[in-house]
């Protein structure tokens, strides 16, 4: 390619918030190398997929995409697979999709600039596959954040928990935290650029250990909340085993820390928790819920549940349904167990048939819908602060999020046009299982 023609790339992201934020860093890195981002595969010289392999369906998506666009290689396009599928499948991807020339796991992104040089030179087999070797985090000054008001900061990468069903410890490498100084520095920089909401990210965000030994996770939350200009701090995802009471104390003490905790339980049965190697019991999980329920402000608590883990009996599943009723979560993300390559649970007996997994998932979601319907009714008549996200052009109302992370649609007084990214007071007038409606007040 001649120097006058800009190198172009297209990037599609699958999966979790960690991937979304990794992509913001990857985009920044590419822009820093003189690439131009384009909105379609057709316009791009380099086509990248940042992939997810947490469940089978997620993994299949990238191979479908690569299949769809195979013929475009003839036009000189280069293809790259990044993220969890890249790390998990490694060089096997070159066999399965020979038109791919870059395979790079997330633990190797810091080497991207060198890999891009090789790609630009026409190298057909460029790999970055660090597995669990690296001690480094992917920090870059080039992060290209897509939202100008709310932004992510990764505080810890990787995972050392090794739940028996999960690929993450293999795909994202070992646990490694950034120093609290560098996290707070990035938060200050973001505040200077006008950000008011920060979401701290980590696969197990609350397993955070400051390499400089200065701050605990709860202290880091407080410190980020104290950065001038920052009005909201969120954090995800927490692991129950490392969830200390000091986190709830920090939320109690700082209005900037949002009224929401996502604490995946996965199952309400001790037998299943044990087989999953989750490192806590139902009782210990409920103890943490108790701390949150006794917080000064009402906290929204959300969770993840896996149904149909090998050996999960009907009575184990009922324990999960009971737990939902006991805790009254504000939302749950339910998943059918998906066997993953190289994970210990692959060798477990008593697999649950897919039909039965589907039935349990439906039952779980119906039970939760009833809980959410009644929990959301309690919001009617309350006034909350809402961060404005935009306008629903079809329905004509505005959209925003509460500190509890609830989506709320709202009407505004005649003549007023709220600024996207601003905070406005809204009184809830109607509730639905998954959202709220309200009226902005002056
Ligand atoms: N099968 C089904 N769900 C899974 N999750 C992680 N691994 C699997 C798997 N093998 C779910 C867990 C986790 C969420 C991000 O994805 O509930 O909390
Ligand atoms: Fe996966 Fe468990 Fe680590 Fe979460 S804690 S990323 S579920 S191994």
User: Quick check: is 424 in a domain?
Assistant: yes
Mean pLDDT rounded to a whole number for the chain:
94
Residue pair 126/119 in contact (Cβ under 8 Å)? The answer is yes
Strand ranges inside 24-122, DSSP E:
35-37, 46-51, 78-83, 100-104
Quick check: CB of 174 below 6 Å from ligand 2?
no
Kindly state whether residues 349 and 314 are assigned to the same domain: yes
Query: pLDDT band for position 354 (50/70/90)?
Result: very high
pLDDT tens for 288-299 read 999 999 999 999
User: Quick check: is 139 in a domain?
Assistant: no
Number of domains in the chain: 4
User: Quick check: is 136 in a domain?
Assistant: no
Contacting residues for 373 by C-beta, under 8 A, at least 6 apart: 431, 432, 433
Quick check: CB of 85 below 6 Å from ligand 2?
no
User: Quick check: is 135 in a domain?
Assistant: no
Quick check: CB of 306 below 6 Å from ligand 1?
yes
Which atom of ligand 1 is closest in space to residue 345's alpha carbon? 10
Show the domain range for 276: 263-378
Kindly state whether residues 276 and 374 are assigned to the same domain: yes
Contacting residues for 442 by C-beta, under 8 A, at least 6 apart: 413, 416
Quick check: CB of 340 below 6 Å from ligand 1?
yes
Entry pTM: 0.94
Answer yes or no: is pLDDT of 193 > 50: yes
Quick check: CB of 156 below 6 Å from ligand 2?
no
Quick check: CB of 304 below 6 Å from ligand 1?
yes
User: Quick check: is 60 in a domain?
Assistant: yes
Q: Which of 162, 207, 272 to mutate to test the pocket of ligand 2 (most atoms within 8 A of CB)?
A: 162
User: How confident is the model over 292-308, as a mean pLDDT?
Assistant: 98
- Judged by average pLDDT, the poorest of 124-138, 258-272, 340-354, 412-426 is 124-138
Contacting residues for 281 by C-beta, under 8 A, at least 6 apart: 270, 273
Q: Where a domain ends, among 217, 234, 258? A: 258
User: How confident is the model over 221-233, as a mean pLDDT?
Assistant: 98
User: How confident is the model over 173-179, as a mean pLDDT?
Assistant: 94
Measured in angstroms, how far is the CA atom of residue 167 from the centroid of ligand 1? 9
Kindly state whether residues 177 and 279 are assigned to the same domain: no
Measured in angstroms, how far is the CA atom of residue 338 from the centroid of ligand 1? 8
Answer yes or no: is pLDDT of 74 > 80: no
Q: Which of 20, 59, 165, 332 to mutate to test the pocket of ligand 1 (most atoms within 8 A of CB)?
A: 165
Q: Where a domain ends, among 229, 258, 287? A: 258
pLDDT tens for 6-51 read 699 999 999 999 999 999 999 999 999 999 999 999 999 999 999 9
Q: Where a domain ends, among 239, 258, 277? A: 258
Measured in angstroms, how far is the CA atom of residue 370 from the centroid of ligand 1? 24
Classified as helix, coil or strand, 220 is helix
Contacting residues for 5 by C-beta, under 8 A, at least 6 apart: none
Kindly state whether residues 15 and 120 are assigned to the same domain: yes
- Residue nearest to ligand 1 atom 13, measured at CA: 304
Kindly state whether residues 117 and 11 are assigned to the same domain: yes
User: Quick check: is 79 in a domain?
Assistant: yes
Could you tell me which of 301, 302, 438 has the C-alpha nearest to residue 382?
A: 438
Quick check: CB of 165 below 6 Å from ligand 1?
yes
CATH code of residue 332? 3.30.750.200
Kindly state whether residues 230 and 197 are assigned to the same domain: yes
Kindly state whether residues 105 and 87 are assigned to the same domain: yes
Identify the residue with better confidence: 243 or 108: 243
CATH code of residue 408? 2.40.50.140
Kindly state whether residues 247 and 282 are assigned to the same domain: no
Residue pair 412/388 in contact (Cβ under 8 Å)? The answer is no
Ligand nearest to the Cα of 265, by number:
1
Kindly state whether residues 228 and 289 are assigned to the same domain: no
Ligand nearest to the Cα of 263, by number:
1
User: Quick check: is 140 in a domain?
Assistant: no
Residue pair 252/295 in contact (Cβ under 8 Å)? The answer is yes
Kindly state whether residues 153 and 117 are assigned to the same domain: no
Kindly state whether residues 302 and 328 are assigned to the same domain: yes
Kindly state whether residues 277 and 337 are assigned to the same domain: yes
CA 93, CA 87: separation in Å to the nearest integer?
10
CATH code of residue 254? 3.30.750.210
Contacting residues for 441 by C-beta, under 8 A, at least 6 apart: 383, 413, 425, 426, 427
User: How confident is the model over 269-281, as a mean pLDDT?
Assistant: 98
Quick check: CB of 170 below 6 Å from ligand 1?
no
Query: pLDDT band for position 1 (50/70/90)?
Result: very low
CATH code of residue 92? 3.40.50.12160
User: How confident is the model over 58-79, as a mean pLDDT?
Assistant: 86
- pLDDT score recorded for residue 5: 61
Quick check: CB of 204 below 6 Å from ligand 2?
yes
User: Quick check: is 41 in a domain?
Assistant: yes
């Amino acid at each position: 390619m001649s120097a006058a023609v800009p190198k172009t790339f297209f990037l599609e992201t699958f999966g979790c918030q960690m991937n979304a934020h990794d992509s913001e860093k990857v985009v920044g890195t590419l822009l820093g190398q003189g690439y131009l981002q384009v909105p379609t595969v057709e316009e791009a010289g380099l086509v990248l997929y940042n992939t997810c392999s947490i469940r089978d369906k997620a993994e299949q998506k990238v191979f479908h995409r690569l299949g769809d666009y195979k013929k475009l290689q003839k036009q000189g396009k280069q293809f790259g697979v990044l993220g969890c599928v890249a790390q998990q499948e490694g060089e096997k991807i070159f066999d399965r999709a020979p038109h791919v020339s870059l395979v790079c796991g997330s633990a190797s992104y810091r080497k991207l600039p060198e890999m891009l040089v090789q790609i630009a030179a026409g190298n057909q087999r460029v790999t970055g596959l660090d597995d669990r070797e690296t001690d480094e985090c992917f920090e870059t000054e080039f992060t290209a954040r897509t939202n100008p008001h709310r932004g992510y900061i990764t505080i810890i990468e990787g995972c050392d928990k090794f739940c028996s069903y999960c690929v993450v410890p293999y795909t994202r490498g070992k646990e490694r935290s950034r120093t609290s100084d560098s996290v707070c520095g990035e938060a200050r920089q973001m505040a200077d650029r006008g950000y008011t909401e920060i979401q701290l990210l980590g696969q197990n965000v609350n397993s955070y250990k400051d390499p400089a030994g200065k701050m605990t996770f709860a202290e880091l939350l407080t410190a980020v909340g104290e950065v001038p200009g920052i009005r909201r701090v969120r954090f995800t995802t927490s692991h129950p085993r490392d969830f200390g009471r000091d986190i709830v104390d920090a939320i109690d003490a700082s209005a900037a820390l949002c009224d929401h905790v996502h604490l995946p339980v996965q199952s309400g049965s001790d037998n299943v928790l044990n087989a999953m190697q989750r490192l806590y019991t139902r009782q210990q999980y409920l103890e943490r819920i108790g701390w949150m329920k006794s917080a000064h402000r009402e906290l929204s608590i959300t969770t993840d549940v896996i149904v149909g883990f090998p050996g999960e009996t009907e009575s184990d599943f009922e324990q999960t349904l009971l737990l939902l009723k006991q805790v009254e979560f504000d939302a749950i993300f339910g998943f059918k167990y998906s066997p993953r390559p190289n994970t210990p649970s692959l060798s477990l007996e008593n697999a649950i048939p897919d039909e039965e997994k589907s039935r349990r998932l439906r039952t779980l979601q119906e039970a939760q819908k009833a809980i959410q319907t009644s929990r959301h009714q309690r919001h009617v008549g309350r006034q909350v602060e809402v961060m404005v996200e935009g306008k629903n052009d079809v329905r004509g109302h505005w959209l925003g999020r509460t500190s509890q992370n609830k989506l709320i649609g709202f009407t505004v007084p005649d003549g007023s046009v709220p600024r996207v990214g601003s905070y406005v007071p809204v009184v809830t007038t109607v509730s639905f299982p998954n959202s709220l409606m309200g009226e902005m007040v002056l």
